[in-house]
């Protein structure tokens, strides 16, 4: 896993890793690599993947969030003359911008769409903020196998919950909205978002 020194580097926003492009310490090259991964995932038949590239609109996110789903996982849960609300079940992947690692879990997202303009006017979703969310149901097993194959092709290690669901072994100040300092987990040193 990660050494204490590596975890401190990640918290400081420094890039670590021996494989390309992380070994270049070039943020633009890393972002381009993640984009290539994203485009490769979108080439999987019957799968749609959307990405949050812009740090959730504010601050800094140490990861890019991908949400992958199939058309059959979209259901309309409410509709009237002006709006419809869709529920989408899928798989979330957080790709770390600072190390060649990722985490994966399941999510259910709602979005409200204006029928005439097709504009998204509301919605809700959750983020992978706790290791107990790093699991998927049997329903998504075929999709998860394909996603894991692409992650492996791009040299990403998929972290397991039991490895990152441990208290951070040292005092730190992590720029995160997920947990208070006394509750930091190893996961917080790797995947954090400062709003």
Domain-wise residue ranges, the chain: 4-172+188-194
Span 110-119, average pLDDT: 87
Measure the CA–CA gap between 47 and 30, rounded to whole angstroms: 24
| Per-residue confidence band for 122, with pLDDT thresholds at 50, 70 and 90 | confident
Average pLDDT over residues 133-161: 94
**What would the mean pLDDT of 32-44 be, rounded to a whole number?**
97
Mean of the pLDDT values across residues 2-29? Answer: 95
Report the predicted TM-score, pTM, of the whole model to 2 decimal places.
Answer: 0.89
Give me the mean pLDDT over the 126-154 stretch: 89
| pLDDT for the residue 176 | 82
Dihedral sign of CA atoms 151, 157, 161, 167 in order: negative
Which 3 state secondary structure label does DSSP give 133? helix
Q: To the nearest 10°, report the CA torsion of 14, 16, 21, 27.
A: -10
| pLDDT value at residue 195 | 64
């Amino acid at each position: 896993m990660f050494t204490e020194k590596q975890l401190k580097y990640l918290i400081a926003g420094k890039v670590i890793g021996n494989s390309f492009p992380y070994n270049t310490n070039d943020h633009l090259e890393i972002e381009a690599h993640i984009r290539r991964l994203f485009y490769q995932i979108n080439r999987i038949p019957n799968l749609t993947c959307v990405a949050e590239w812009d740090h959730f609109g504010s601050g800094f996110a140490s990861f890019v969030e991908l949400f992958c789903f199939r058309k059959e996982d979209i259901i309309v849960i409410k509709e009237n003359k002006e709006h419809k609300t869709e529920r989408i079940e899928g798989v979330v992947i957080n790709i770390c911008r600072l190390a060649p690692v990722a985490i994966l879990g399941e999510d259910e997202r709602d979005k409200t769409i204006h029928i005439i303009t097709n504009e998204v006017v509301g919605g809700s979703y959750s983020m992978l903020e706790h290791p107990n969310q790093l699991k998927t149901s049997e329903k998504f097993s075929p999709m998860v196998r394909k996603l894991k194959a692409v992650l492996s092709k791009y040299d990403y290690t998929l972290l397991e919950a039991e490895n990152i669901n441990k208290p951070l072994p040292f005092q730190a100040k992590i720029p995160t909205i997920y947990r208070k300092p006394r509750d930091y987990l190893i996961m917080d040193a790797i995947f954090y978002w400062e709003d």
